[in-house]
Amino acid sequence: MKDLLLRGVKVVDPGGDHHDTETDILIQNGRIGRVGRRIPLGKAREVRIEGLHLSPGWVDLRAHFRDPGEEYKQGITNGLDAAAAGGYTAVAVLPSTAPPMDGRSGVEYLLRKAQHHAVQALPLGALTKGLAGGQLAELFDMQQAGAVAFTDDQQVVSNSRLMLLALQYVMNFDGLVMTFAQDPGLVLGGQMHESPLSTRLGMRGIPALAEETQLARDIALLAYTGSRMHVATVSTREGVELVRAAKARKLRISASVSAHHLLLDDGCLRGFDTDYKVMPPLRDQTHIEALREGVKDGTIDCIVSDHRPEDVEHKKLEFAQAAFGMIGLETCFAEANTVMKGRMTLRRLVERFCHGPRAVLGLPVPHVTEGAEAELTLFLPEQEWHLERNDLVSRSQNTPLLGQPLTGRPVGIISKGQVLLRSQQVGAV
């Protein structure tokens, strides 16, 4: 890569030597060559953008790339491109593909297809064979091949004995189980959050109780085993309280929330727009305020995209037949920043995108230090903008945020010796 000189950039690097400073940064041969004021340009390419901020690279813990099996919806390369556009230098990829990523070969397939991209793919191996909940998958083999954690995505392991065995088994190599807390029997046939609004709209509701009961079981199993567990996409007040209480008991638990559950509420469904149909469902303001407070006080460790691409044939249907999910890699930071701005500092918000996810997976934080390999995210936290179709890199564009005002925008990433910048943000440099 050609040398790059970032002029007057504000560094957001909690725990780093240059946190909260405005400085120049010279990138040479994929490394941070110099940090300081008035660095000579030399032969470097200069980037000077008013309000530009920089932090260690962000990590997303929950994205679906539909590869193998449904590449027409996304694909690995297109998914990684979308992640880069969203400011991520690494992204954890879900195993619910066709066939599922439940063995060494699936992990190796993902890593092989992603190896030359600037964004690092972090494979999430299936917890059970075929995501069927009947038998443990090849967990150790997948861990040896590069899997960073294990999950059945939104297929809940209903068999408590099997979940207990999974938590015990991964302790042999300090592995991590990611759980999705929605009791299948209470969710069955549900379309949206259970409330007076769901009754008025004539749609079967998904009660908050579905999350509470499943999560209570999983925490009880975690306490019994002493293992490690991550709770994916908490969506209710009760879920936040259960995680908070488990942390107070010093259990090895972490949790995430999707950005759209912080920004959007169930009232969005009044128009029956299927782009708002997600799982877990959008909740009401009582739950949303609890989620925001959980992010603020650290009960919730990280904010995730829960990126789920769907094509028109699976999304633009009658509400009951439409698939759950929305894309979120390109907009995750903007969504979170829009709603949490003024509620928490930018430093703490960046921690939910960088430090929190890395701590969950046991990954080091790449600080802004001279001589270190550059793994950086560039972003404009104050920029106000409206999402348009040409802003989206994802092959599928199932998002309800088109035309919506947002605050804060990623500019690009520097990672693995590559620079990926959004041209419309950088302009002439």
pLDDT per position as a tens digit, 321-358: 999 999 999 999 999 999 999 999 999 999 999 999 99
pLDDT in tens, 106-152: 999 999 999 999 999 999 999 999 999 999 999 999 999 999 999 99
pLDDT at 423: 61
Q: In order of start, what are the domains of the chain with their CATH numbers?
A: 4-54+369-426 (2.30.40.10), 58-361 (3.20.20.140)
pTM confidence score: 0.96
Q: Are 73 and 318 in contact (CB under 8 A)?
A: no
pLDDT at 427: 41
Q: For residue 306, indicate whether it is catalytic.
A: yes
Active-site residue, from 81, 218, 266, 306: 306
d(CA 66, CA 309): 8
pLDDT at 428: 34
Intervals of the chain under pLDDT 50: 424, 426-429
The percent of residues above 70 in pLDDT, for the chain, comes to 98
pLDDT at 426: 46
